[in-house]
């Protein structure tokens, strides 16, 4: 059991340690891409801090020794393709050996370009977009019926919101007051073929969820402390805590700040992020999604990273 209670005065230390870990995760993710060019690197760099805060911030209850532990929070990685940064984290947590990171996409490995649920630590099938939130609804409802107080976290892409199945689930969760459901949107403003605003502009995202009776929060998704405060509040069941009022948002095109439509609502956290975060060539490229970084490029980037 990895989850432990964190005292207030430990917070600075914790934030620092998460920050350090996040840096390590970013580098390891690039290393994986160096040997496994089939992986989606830009998509996996925008959510490094989100996953790092959930795991290293000890907000997510989980147990690497018992992946079926009933006391765990359920984490559904709906944007599976863009979660390669979770490989180093899961290895670091002890779900599998760190050596496995050197075998991604290799014959005999269980770590693929898109993660399958054969990987310890992944709850569901997630290579196809738009499934996670609906499955999350089912889990959240089941937990309620079982009297299990754990939370369901779903990590989604912003382009993923174009899938109709997502909105079926959004409607359902609002109606059934699934307040144990927390959806985090890695709002990196791009999908595969370009910027989302040029394809279908669905900003402000939070307002749309609020219409369907969700609480909506908006934060900057690369600020570890903001993420920590927000997600800690949610993990503890406070739907309005941790709002990022400082608005350290770089590419934020949204207008919504925070909706509190009442108690017993599901929550969406719109985390403004940068696709390819940390790699300038990717950060500015509308089709960073399908860009591979050559081993050479990666070597050059590595030395520039903190």
Partner 1 sequence: MNDNPAVNGNHAMNLEQKSMRDVFIDAIYERMKGNDKIFFVSADFGSPKLDRLRRDFSDRFLNVGIAEQNLLNVSTGLALEGFTVYAYAIAPFLTMRAYEQIRNNLSLMSHVRELNVNLIGVGAGLSYDVAGPTHHCLEDISILRNLPNMVLFSPSDWYLVQEFADYSLQVKAPKYLRFDGKPLRRIYGNGSGINSGINMKDGFTEIKKGSGICIVSTGFMTHRALEAAARLARQNLDVGVIDFYVLKPFNEESFRKVLGNYACVITIEEAFINKGGLDSIVACAVNGMDTHIKRKHMGFGDSYVFDMGSRDALHRLYGLDEDGIIKNILECVKDLA
Q: In the complex, what is the shortest distance from the CB of residue 157 to ligand TPP, in angstroms, rounded to a whole number?
A: 2
Residues in the chain: 306
Distance CA 304, CA 227 (A): 24
Instruction: Give the residue, chosen from 27, 81, 232, 277, that forms a contact with ligand TPP under the rule CB under 6 A.
Output: 81
Distance CA 293, CA 306 (A): 19
Number of residues lying near a copy of itself (CB under 8 A): 19
Q: Which is nearer to partner 1, 39 or 52 (CB)?
A: 39
Q: In the complex, what is the shortest distance from the CB of residue 169 to a copy of itself, in angstroms, rounded to a whole number?
A: 8
Instruction: Choose the binding region for partner 1 from 47-55, 129-137, 238-246, 277-285 (rule: CB under 8 A).
Output: 129-137
Instruction: Give Cα separations from 294 to 53, 223, 291 (angstroms).
Output: 29, 28, 9
Choose from Mg ion, ligand TPP, a copy of itself, none: what does 165 bind? Cβ within 5-8 Å by kind. Answer: a copy of itself
**129 scored as a contact of ligand TPP (CB under 6 A):** yes
Q: Which is nearer to partner 1, 16 or 198 (CB)?
A: 198
Instruction: Give the residue, chosen from 57, 121, 136, 159, that forms a contact with ligand TPP under the rule CB under 6 A.
Output: 159
**179 scored as a contact of a copy of itself (CB under 8 A):** no
**306 scored as a contact of partner 1 (CB under 8 A):** no
Q: In the complex, what is the shortest distance from the CB of residue 105 to partner 1, in angstroms, rounded to a whole number?
A: 4
Interface residues with a copy of itself (CB under 8 A) are: 162-168, 171-172, 174-175, 199-202, 207-208, 211-212
């Amino acid at each position: 059991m990895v989850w432990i209670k964190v005292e207030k005065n430990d917070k600075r230390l914790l934030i620092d340690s998460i920050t350090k870990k996040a840096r390590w995760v970013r580098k390891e993710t690039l290393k994986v891409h160096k040997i496994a060019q089939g992986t989606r690197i830009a998509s996996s760099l925008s959510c490094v801090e989100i996953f790092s805060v959930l795991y290293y911030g000890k907000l997510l209850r989980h147990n690497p020794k018992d992946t079926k532990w009933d006391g765990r929070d359920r984490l559904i990685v709906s944007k599976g393709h863009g979660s390669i940064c979770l490989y180093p984290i899961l290895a670091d947590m002890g779900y599998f050996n760190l050596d496995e990171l050197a075998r991604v996409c290799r014959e005999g490995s269980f770590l693929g370009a898109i993660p399958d649920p054969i990987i310890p630590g992944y709850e569901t099938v997630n290579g196809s977009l738009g499934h996670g939130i609906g499955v999350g609804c089912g889990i959240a409802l089941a937990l309620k019926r079982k009297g299990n107080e754990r939370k369901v976290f779903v990590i989604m892409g912003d382009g993923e919101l174009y899938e109709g199945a997502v909105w079926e689930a959004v409607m359902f969760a609002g109606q059934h007051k699934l307040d144990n459901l927390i959806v985090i949107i890695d709002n990196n403003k791009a999908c595969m073929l370009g910027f989302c605003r040029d394809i279908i502009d669905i900003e402000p995202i939070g307002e749309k969820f609020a219409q369907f009776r969700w609480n909506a929060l908006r934060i900057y998704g690369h600020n570890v402390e903001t993420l920590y405060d927000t997600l800690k509040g949610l993990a503890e069941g406070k739907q309005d805590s941790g709002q990022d009022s400082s608005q350290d948002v770089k590419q934020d095109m949204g207008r919504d700040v925070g909706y509190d439509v009442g108690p017993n609502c599901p929550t969406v956290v719109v985390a403004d992020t940068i696709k390819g975060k940390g790699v300038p060539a990717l950060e500015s490229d509308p089709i960073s999604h399908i860009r591979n970084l050559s081993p050479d490029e990666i070597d050059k980037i590595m030395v520039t990273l903190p």
